[in-house]
Structure 1
Amino acid sequence: MENEDHVAIEFEAMLEKAHTLFSNKSCCIYKVPHDIRQTNEDAYTPMVVSVGPLHHRNPRVLSMENLTVNELVKLILVDCGFVFELFLRYDEGPTEDDVIFSKSWLQLRLSYDLLLLENQLPLFVFVKLYNLAFASSDGDDEFPSFMDLSYSYFSAENNVNDQIVHFTDLCRYCILKQRRPCERKHKHFVLGHSASELLEAGLKFQVVNKSSPIDILDLKFEHGVLTIPHITVDDFTEVWLRNIVALEQCHYPDEHYITDYVNFLKQLVNSNRDADVLIKAGIIQSDVSGSDISVAKLFRDVDKHILLENYNVNYLQICDDLNAYYKHPCNTKMATLRRDYFPTPWKTAASIAGIILLLLSVIQTVCSILQVK
C-alpha cells in the first residue's frame, strides 16, 4: 500500500509539470513537427540570426547573439533591439559602409531567417517594446510605427489586419490578401493525371495575365483550359513554402489555403516533363539551381508528411472536372489527331493537302461509276 501511495504521489507531480503541446489559440510560436522537419532541416533553421528561444545558443547563429545570460526576458530584449535597429536602418536608407546592408547576401539571408516559423517572437511583443522605446512624450510621432516598418521591410501591403501573430504569419497573409474562408469538405482531392498526360488528352494550360493583380491560389478550369497564376520558383521558394505550410499545419487546421495549393501542384507536376509543360505555358518561371526535375521535387518534398482532414471545395471540383475531361473518349481522340497529323504548320498543310486529294479521288471514283451506269 505504501508503495502504491509513492507511485500515486510521483504521478501527480508528473502531471503538474506536464503541459500540452498546443495549449490554446493564442499559442503562435511552434517547433516544426519532427517528421516534417527531418525532410529538410536547413529550411527551418536560421543561418545568420536567431530570434526567440527555440534556436538560442545554436552554434550556427551564435556569433550574432552577443548574449551573456540565458534569461528569457533579456533574450527577448536583445532580439527585439536587433530587429528595431535593422528595420530603422532599412527605413532610413542604409549607408555604403553599413555592416549588413552593404552585403546583399547578408541582407537576403537575414530576411529569410526572419520568416522562419521557429525563429519568431509574437508581434505584440515587438509592438509594445517599440512603443515604450520610441513613443514621443509630446504626442508628435517622430518615428514610424513598428508595423509600418515591418510592412516596408518585407514589402508587404500596409493594410494587414490586426490578427497577424508574427512575421511568418505576415508572409502568409500577404499571399492570401483578403481571401475569404472557403467551403471545405472531408474528402481528399485526387488528380489522377499529371500535366503532360492532361496535355496529351487535349487540355490547354494558360497563365493568368501578369499585368493584373495576381492571386497565386486562384486556379480555374473552363472549356478545356486550366488557368494557373504565374509563380517564380527559385532557391528560396522551398523555404517560404515549407515554413508557411508548417504554420498552417500547426495553427490553421481549417484554413490551410497554401497547403491545398502545394498539394494540387504536387499532383499536377510529377516529373521533368510535367514541369516543362507549365514552364512552356509561362505558368512557372524556374530559377532553381539544377534541372527542371527540381521543380517537381520541390512540391513533393514540401507536401511530405503533411496531415489534413479537410480540403478546399474549389480544388476538389477542379480535380473532378480534370479527371472527367481526361476520361472522355472524344478529348483523347481529338488530341491524338492533333498530335499525329497537325503538330506543325508544314505537317498541317501536308495533312490538309492529303485530305483534299483523298476527297478528289473519291469524287472522281464516284463520277466514273455514275458515267458507267
Structure 2
Amino acid sequence: MLSVGPYHHGASTLQAMEKEKWSYLDFILKLNCGVRLFDYLTEIGKMAKHARNCYSEDIKMDDEEFLQMLLLDGCFILTVLGGAKELLENFQQKLNKSAEHEVHGTPDMEDKRADRIQTSSEGSNQNDNVTECAQYDDVFGQWFVSFAHHDLLLLENQIPFFVVKRIFELVAGQCTVTPCTNEIAKAIETALRWYPKSIQESCRPNDFCHLLHLCHLYFRPTVKQEENYHDQVAPQYINRFLSFGLKYLRIRQQHDDNERDISDSNKVDFIQGGQYLNRWRRAEQYLEAGVNFKKRKYDKVNPHSLLDIQFINSLMEIPCLAIDEFTGTLFRNLIAFEQTCPQFGDDFTAYIVFLSQLLSMPEDVTLLAQREIIVHHLDSDDNVSDLFTMLSKDVVFDFNGNYYLKSLCQTMEAHYQNRINRWMAWLWLNHFRNPWLALAAFATVIVLVCTVVQTVYGILAYIDPPQ
C-alpha cells in the first residue's frame, strides 16, 4: 500500500499514499511554526550521506529527491505511529489556554479583542486541521492501520530511525516531552499484540536502527538457553541404571527385525570429529518418546517472549503462537533481517527452523493446536505446516552452531534416544490412556499377584505340611 525508503520509491501503484504524505508533512510543520521547512531540509541534509550508506545497494536518486523522500517518510512514520502524540497534546493545550485568555480578558483590552478573536479563530482552524491529520486511522478505518503496520515492517521498506528522531527533536524544540521512541515502541507492541513479549513498559527499547529492528527486539529470547538442563541429569542416570538392570536380568523386551532396524536408524548421528549431529524431530515422534506438550502460561510478573521454550521433566512448554494471513510476511522479513545482518544474531531463525521440523506434517499441527499452542486462522492445518516449511527454505542455518536452542535440542534428542522413554510412552499411548484398558491391566496384575501368592503358599504347605 505504501513505500518507505528508496527501493519502492516512485512505483506507479503506490502513488496514492505518496500524495497523502504531504498532509503529514503539513501536520509536522504546523506543530511548531517556529521551525521552517528549510530548517528540516538543512538538518536532514547533514545526515543524508550517512543515510545512503545504510543501504546495501546503490541508491539511484539525486540528493534533492533523496532528501525529500527522507523528510516525507520520516514525518509519515512519526505521525502514523504516534511519535508526535505528546507534541499534539501540548499544541492543543496552548490553543485552549489562548482561548480561555480571550474569554476572561479585562475591560481595558476591548480595543484588541477583535484581532484576538480573529487569531483565535485561525488557531482553531489550524487545530482542526492538525487533529484531522493526526487521526488518519479514524478517517480511513482499521484497515489502514493494519496495512500500514504490515508495510512498515518490511525489510525493504525502511529508513534509518535517526532521521525520524531528528525530525522529532526539531518539532519538540525546547519542550520537555517524552522521546518519540516510547510512543513508537507502543505502536509496535500494538502491531504484535497477539505475541507474548518479555519487554515491559518500563524498559521499552530506545536505541534501534529502524522499525523492523525494533520489532526484532521484541522477539528475542528472555534468557539464552545455554545451560545443560541439569534438572534432566538425574532422570537420565536413573534410566541408565534401569537399562543396566534390565540387560543383566534378561527381561529386556525382544524386538523383531523391523523394529531393530528402526531403532538403529534413530541413533544419534555422528559427523567427522566425533561431534553429535544436532537435529529436531516431529511433534508426534516426541510424543511417542514420552514428551508432553503444553502451552506456556503468560505471567505478567515474569513475562516471557515468543521464543522462550522450556523442557523440564519430559514436559515441553511452548508459548502460544497465533497465525494469520500476515504472519508469514512478518516472519519472513525477520528471518531476512537476521540472514543479512548477522551481527543481530540468529535467534528467530533458530526458532523458525525448530518449528519447521516440529510441524513437518499436518498431524503435528493438529497435535499442538489441540493443546492451544498453535492458534491459526488459515484454511487448514496443512497450510500451517506448509507455511513453516516455506519459511525455512533456503535459510542458512548451522545446526551445530552456538544457537540459543542448542542445549534444548541435545537434551530432547537424548530423551528421544532413550529406549525406556519410548517403551513407557508406548505402554501409556496404547494401553493406559484408555481407562478401561488401564483398569483391565490393573485387574490382571492383581490376579497375577494373587496367583503367585497362592502358589507360594501351596508350595510351602507341601514342603512343610501343618501338624
TM-score w.r.t. the length of structure 1 is 0.74
Question: Within the alignment, does 1:119 sit opposite 2:157 as a pair?
Answer: yes
Match of 1:61 among 14, 35, 49: 14
Corresponding position of 2:172 = 135
**1:267-292 CA-partner distances (Å, limit 9, x unpaired):** 222111212222233322x2231112
Partner Cα separation in structure 1 for residue 364 and residue 410 of structure 2: 19
Corresponding position of 2:363 = 273
CA shift, 1:367, in A, is 4.5
What are the within-5 Å matches in structure 2 for residues 172-187 of structure 1? 172-176=216-220
**1:300-353 CA-partner distances (Å, limit 9, x unpaired):** 222211113573355222222222211211111111111222113233222212
Corresponding position of 2:339 = 249
Match of 1:171 among 205, 211, 215: 215
What are the within-5 Å matches in structure 2 for residues 197-216 of structure 1? 197-211=285-299, 212-216=302-306
Partner Cα separation in structure 2 for residue 189 and residue 277 of structure 1: 26
Partner Cα separation in structure 2 for residue 123 and residue 62 of structure 1: 23
The change in CA–CA distance for 1:181 and 1:123 in structure 2 (over 3 A counts) is farther
The change in CA–CA distance for 1:192 and 1:257 in structure 2 (over 3 A counts) is closer
CA shift, 1:58, in A, is 2.6
Q: Is the 8 A contact 1:257 1:312 kept in 2?
A: no
Question: Within the alignment, does 1:335 sit opposite 2:442 as a pair?
Answer: no
CA shift, 1:259, in A, is 0.8
Q: Is the 8 A contact 2:282 2:359 kept in 1?
A: yes
Partner Cα separation in structure 1 for residue 339 and residue 84 of structure 2: 32
Partner Cα separation in structure 2 for residue 140 and residue 177 of structure 1: 37
Equivalenced residues, count = 318
Corresponding position of 1:26 = none
The change in CA–CA distance for 1:80 and 1:327 in structure 2 (over 3 A counts) is same
Corresponding position of 2:412 = 322
Corresponding position of 1:87 = 81
Corresponding position of 1:75 = 69
**1:1-24 CA-partner distances (Å, limit 9, x unpaired):** xxxxxxxxxxxxxxxxxxxxxxxx
The change in CA–CA distance for 1:355 and 1:179 in structure 2 (over 3 A counts) is closer
Q: Which moved more, 1:240-249 or 1:268-277?
A: 268-277
Q: Give the match's secondary structure for 2:189.
A: coil
AA of the residue aligned to 2:378: S
Partner Cα separation in structure 1 for residue 310 and residue 83 of structure 2: 43
Q: Is the 8 A contact 1:49 1:110 kept in 2?
A: yes
Question: Within the alignment, does 1:303 sit opposite 2:347 as a pair?
Answer: no
The change in CA–CA distance for 1:257 and 1:358 in structure 2 (over 3 A counts) is same
Q: Which runs of 5+ in 1 are unaligned?
A: 1-47
Q: Give the match's secondary structure for 1:311.
A: coil
CA shift, 1:174, in A, is 1.8
Partner Cα separation in structure 2 for residue 53 and residue 313 of structure 1: 34
Q: Is the 8 A contact 2:334 2:348 kept in 1?
A: yes
Q: Is the 8 A contact 2:226 2:406 kept in 1?
A: no
Identity %: 28
Answer with 1 or 2: which has the greater Rg: 2
CA shift, 1:213, in A, is 0.5
Partner Cα separation in structure 2 for residue 173 and residue 307 of structure 1: 21
Corresponding position of 1:234 = 324
Q: Is the 8 A contact 1:191 1:268 kept in 2?
A: no
TM-score w.r.t. the length of structure 2 is 0.60
Q: Which moved more, 1:243-252 or 1:230-239?
A: 230-239
**1:2-54 CA-partner distances (Å, limit 9, x unpaired):** xxxxxxxxxxxxxxxxxxxxxxxxxxxxxxxxxxxxxxxxxxxxxx1111111
Q: Give the match's secondary structure for 1:206.
A: strand
CA shift, 1:179, in A, is 5.6
AA of the residue aligned to 2:4: V
Corresponding position of 2:376 = 287
Partner Cα separation in structure 1 for residue 289 and residue 132 of structure 2: 57
**1:71-123 CA-partner distances (Å, limit 9, x unpaired):** 11112222222223323499469879955334112211111111111100000
Q: Is the 8 A contact 2:323 2:376 kept in 1?
A: yes
The change in CA–CA distance for 1:228 and 1:293 in structure 2 (over 3 A counts) is same
Partner Cα separation in structure 2 for residue 150 and residue 341 of structure 1: 55
Partner Cα separation in structure 2 for residue 302 and residue 83 of structure 1: 28
AA of the residue aligned to 2:169: N
Q: Is the 8 A contact 1:253 1:308 kept in 2?
A: no
Root-mean-square deviation (CA, aligned residues, Å) is 3.3
